[in-house]
Structure 1
Amino acid sequence: MRFVDATTDRVVAELAIRDDLKTIGGRLHGGTIMALADTVAATATFLNLPPGAGTTTLESKTNFFAGASEGTVRATSTPLHRGRTTMVWETRVTDAAGRLLALVIQTQMVLLPRAPGSPSVPRTSATASP
Structure 2
Amino acid sequence: MSSPINMITLLKMEIIKQTKELVQITMPITNETKQPMGYLHGGASVTLAETAASVGGLLYIDKETSNVFGIEINANHIKAKKDGLLQAFAKPVHIGKSTMVWDIRIYDEMDELVTISRCTLGVKEKRKN
Task: Give the partner amino acid of 2:56.
Answer: A
DSSP 3-state at the match of 1:62: strand
Amino acid at match of 1:104: S
Deviation at 1:24, TM superposition (A): 2.0
Cα displacement string for residues 40-93 of structure 1 (whole angstroms, at most 9, x for unaligned residues): 111100111135210111110111111111110011100000011100000101
Q: How far apart, CA to CA, are the structure 2 residues paired with 1:100 and 1:39?
A: 18
TM-score of the superposed pair, with normalisation by structure 1: 0.83
Residues 1:94 and 2:107 are matched in the alignment: yes
Q: Does 2:48 align with 1:36?
A: yes
Alignment of 1:1-130 (within 5 A): 1-51=13-63, 52-113=65-126
Total equivalences in the alignment: 116
Distance in 2, matches of 1:22 and 1:45, equals 27
Deviations 1:10-38 (A, max 9, x none): 11100111122212222111011111111
Query: CA–CA distance in 2 between the matches of 1:57 and 1:91?
Result: 13
* Partner Cα distance (1:20, 1:46) in 2: 26
CA distance in 2, matches of 1:18, 1:102: 17
Give the alignment's TM-score, normalised by structure 2. Answer: 0.84
Deviations along 1:81-116, whole A, 9 cap, x unmatched? 0011100000101101111111110100011245x6
Helix, strand or coil: the match of 2:59? helix
Deviation at 1:8, TM superposition (A): 1.2
